[in-house]
Structure 1
């Protein structure tokens, strides 16, 4: 090739590259002024629209981000934009390419243009794929149930001073039948301040009163189960409802468990339950791995496994999903009540470390893991406001925990009036003044005189409070 031919080739490639950055450049250079001007106008309009939406309409965009219908439209639109952009680049090359090139040079130039088309369209294709996965996760995780109330889009917390979400941890597995909700916590959030109270119920609570209806008529003296497979503990209510549709008439399979457990917990605590979130504890480890692990300080060695074959030594650790699961689930050398405390500390650590810069790079992995692990009846339309509330909880609010465990209560013969009264005090904030040790001992003695003596847990997962009925701050009790 002559020097002139090389110059024409390089100039054509430069114009094609310029058209990939700004539509219409090659068209204008080749004399297609009308088409070039139209492409430039469309390109400028798209750029201005994107800037205006991102700068001035972020709340509206956030709401649309949780609309499955809009997300489907977005996937189609992004793929169309990728195809149009690649088409503009290809057409630009055909307009300005030099004639008379030898076959090897022509093939090499075409390959470069093809790579350029791929480079400009690949980000849009990847974005469409991520949006498609996200939409699938959204449809899989979030379902609006019949009890979900209509939300005020402008201010969903108007007239709602508190938001109560029931957090459930299920232990479904290949070697187990059904789902037992071994972790049961009501998170009551002050929508103005972000202050949050975690009210935890033990899985082995007996004779729990069931809500009015078929279930209460079948178990007038509280849930007692049926036979050895269902001895009558709180963690069995969920699966019992799934197996006995007559307990919740008209509710489809998969929704019966929440339909019965949600009002049951509301009756035990005397607090309304707005929504629930169920996390499969086996899939929980996948979520932790997807977010890159979690940093946690262990104040003591944690032994796990049926024969104590595993050990997490005391100290600061970056836990994998499997290790975090063992930390929250192990009862070796401890009991249910100890691990309840560890679970609260794990929840606090995850909430504090779920920063955008950690989540976004792992978005696809998290979406896939969450799709198989999490189920909730929170409506997608509420998520933008819920994200803002979560930020307020993390940055401004204080998180306290009240666990209804021995010696505060007797799980075999619970005083449900006492549980409701203490839950009400914790939520209302009336119980935040520390009682004197003498008063606490007097109150504990009075309660123990009415029921069998309960031995304290063999080890404490949280430092003891002067009053066992007083919420304990997780910031002061969970090691940083």
Structure 2
């Protein structure tokens, strides 16, 4: 009889029903509904376990597709609401009658709190999925390249699978108050072996002169290499803004894309590589991204002074840097030069790549997404993300080498482009011998100075 049921037992049965749907229904004899709820719960639990274990890779690939992210938003919200309804229905079945006054309020409050406890993680998952969907559709555009006329997922995956290497230009743009436009003071090409993830980072200094321009209007305008104009010294870091400001150099490309298109082609010609994609980060957003993941731990080999009036200092030692400190670790040239700074930038990239694990990213995900939408641009299409995600897991386990084209290896005022092409080819074709890492390092260091990032960064 319901009149003989205690409030404590009712709450216990309600908690049991929250842990296994249908328990309270089976207790009071409503077997059909109880079994149905238990079967639904078991199916959902089994699916969740399978996704987290056996099909984890497939699930992660689906979660970088906007359509599936929309489905996750809806599914998690529906499950959250349904779970809360099961809890409330279970309590109504088993609560004692009559129940008034303080016991009624106490029981209702506990059941309400239980509903919030089970709904909160699902609501958060739905929120993350929603933010991810917004990020995917904002930063990663639908493919426009003629390589993928229909934009189908299969075409992108097959395209990547048929390439022995994929080359991605990573650029950092910096707009200073005392100069118009933005300059790409950081330019690195990540050349990744698609079979095993082994990667070489090719770094180019900002002050390369007379860089060859891509065929077409740009080369017609600068047949002997880029020289800028007016007060411009004609350095590599000006090519991006020059392309934005001169539509005739990159005909048919819309505003906001001309500079990146010209820089991508120019860097490709310098290295003798086909640059598949680019990713550009405005340096104003870099510090915010580091703060969003809780900082980054690096080894600072000596004190780094920064600021126009030497107002800042990043102290030496192995320490966890804030976003501002990390920005200046990779940006400052005070008491050093471009080439020392380039080395620090590679160490910083390596540290971020190794330390930004899934849980770290998840904790600051909304802030990361907000910063990325504002400060990151790329031509990587949405449909290629699953294949790149799979490739990134290989990169994380593979060797990462760094090759910097800096003096004395080259002369920035009069670079030997054939020499650069030769060294790039050597770096990406030299076989890796895991049992003899020193041999690979020796093959690449005399010259150029290509070394393991782990060894170089301490």
Secondary structure of 1:209's match?
Answer: coil
Matches within 5 A, 1:18-417: 18-147=16-145, 149-150=147-148, 157-172=160-175, 177-228=180-231, 230-397=232-399, 399-417=400-418
TM-score w.r.t. the length of structure 1 is 0.84
Mapped partners of 2:321, 2:332: distance in 1: 14
Shift of 1:156: 6.0
Aligned to 1:10: 8
- Cα distance in 2 between the residues matched to 1:466 and 1:130: 45
8 Å Cα contact 1:402/1:469 also seen in 2: yes
Report deviation, 1:176: 5.7
Please provide the CA RMSD for this pair: 2.7
Could you tell me how far apart the structure 2 residues matched to 1:219 and 1:64 are?
Answer: 46
Q: Computing the radius of gyration over CA atoms, which structure comes out larger, 1 or 2?
A: 1
CA deviation after TM superposition for structure 1 residue 71, in Å? 0.3
Q: In structure 2, what is the equivalent of residue 472 of structure 1? A: 451
- List aligned pairs for 1:450-469, cutoff 5 A: 467-469=446-448
- Note if contact 1:405-1:411 (Cα within 8 Å) is conserved in structure 2: yes
Instruction: Compute the displacement of 1:118 (Å).
Output: 1.3
- CA change 1:11–1:262 in 2 (3 A) is same
- Whole-angstrom distance in 2 between the partners of 1:88 and 1:264: 61
Residue 223 of structure 1: SS of its match in structure 2?
coil
Residue 31 of structure 1, CA deviation: 4.2
Secondary structure of 1:199's counterpart equals strand
Q: For structure 2, which runs of at least 5 residues remain unmatched after alignment?
A: 149-153, 432-438
* Aligned 8 A contact 2:171 2:188 in 1: yes
Quote the offset at 1:145 in angstroms.
4.3
Match of 1:163, SS?
strand
Change (3 A) 1:144 1:407: farther
- CA contact under 8 A between 2:441 and 2:450: conserved in structure 1? no
Q: How far, CA to CA, are the matches of 1:367 and 1:84 in structure 2?
A: 29
2:200–2:402 contact (8 Å) kept in structure 1: yes
Q: Structure 2 vs 1, CA of residues 57 and 307 (structure 1 numbering), >3 Å: closer, same or farther?
A: same
When the two structures are superposed, what TM-score results if normalisation uses the length of structure 2?
0.88
The alpha-carbon distance between structure 1 residues 44 and 394, as it changes in their structure 2 partners (threshold 3 A), is closer
Aligned counterparts of 1:319 and 1:336: Cα–Cα separation in 2:
21
The CA deviation string for residues 221-240 of structure 1, in whole angstroms up to 9 with x for no partner, is 32222322x44221121122
Q: Could you tell which deviates more after superposition, 324-333 or 166-175? A: 166-175
| CA separation of 1:433 and 1:403: change in aligned 2, threshold 3 A | closer
Q: Distance in 2 between matches of 1:59 and 1:470?
A: 36
Mapped partners of 1:106, 1:410: distance in 2: 83
Tell me how far apart the structure 1 counterparts of residues 379 and 89 of structure 2 sit (CA, whole Å): 49
Residues 61 and 389 in structure 2, CA contact (< 8 A), matched pair in contact too: no
Deviates more, 1:295-304 or 1:46-55: 46-55
- Find the aligned partners of 1:415 and 1:128 in 2 and give their Cα distance: 54
In structure 2, distance between residues paired with 1:43 and 1:426: 54
Q: Which moved more, 1:415-424 or 1:112-121?
A: 415-424
Residue by residue over 1:110-165, the C-alpha shift from the partner in whole angstroms, topping out at 9 and shown as x without a partner, is: 22221121122111111111211222222233224433855667766533221211
